[in-house]
Amino acid sequence: MIIRTATTRFTAAAIVLGAIVGCASAPIRGRLSIPGQEPVPAVLTYRSSLFGGSGKLWTTLPAGETFNGKYVLSGRDAPATGTLSGDRGSVMVCRFALNEPGVGPDKGGTVRCEISTGGVFDASF
């Protein structure tokens, strides 16, 4: 009984530690281009899922609209894609060319996000 309890606690601790370590989160710094305006710095942030096959994306653009959504790795040779919904009704579609496609954004790459209102976010990370 004591061994089983210790094993259960160890397993639970390992799962929690794996969840903490396995979920990378980082900002992706880039430039937002809006037709008729000078490009400005902007940040898209990601948090990968525990197993790295998908994750969350979010940003707040300089005009104040906040976007949230998910990305999904399409496979080793296909780009990762993400769709974010804005709190003012806009949509942002992001396409990633990743340095290591099976890993996700953690190993860097490029991203281009097209906004339904006509703006574009570009970054190399």
The CATH number of 24-124 is: 2.40.128
**Residue owning tokens 């709190």:** 87
Our measurement of the distance from residue 66's CA atom to the centroid of its chain's CA atoms, rounded to an integer in Å, reads 14
Whole-angstrom distance, CA of residue 125 vs CA of residue 31: 12
pLDDT band at 1 (very low <50, low <70, confident <90, very high): low
Residues with Cβ within 8 Å of 104's Cβ and at least 6 positions away in sequence, in order, are 24, 48, 52, 53, 55, 71, 73, 80, 98
Is the entire prediction scored with pTM above 0.85?
A: no
More confident residue, 50 or 55: 55
Whole-angstrom distance, CA of residue 36 vs CA of residue 21: 43
Pairing of strands 109-115, 80-86: unpaired
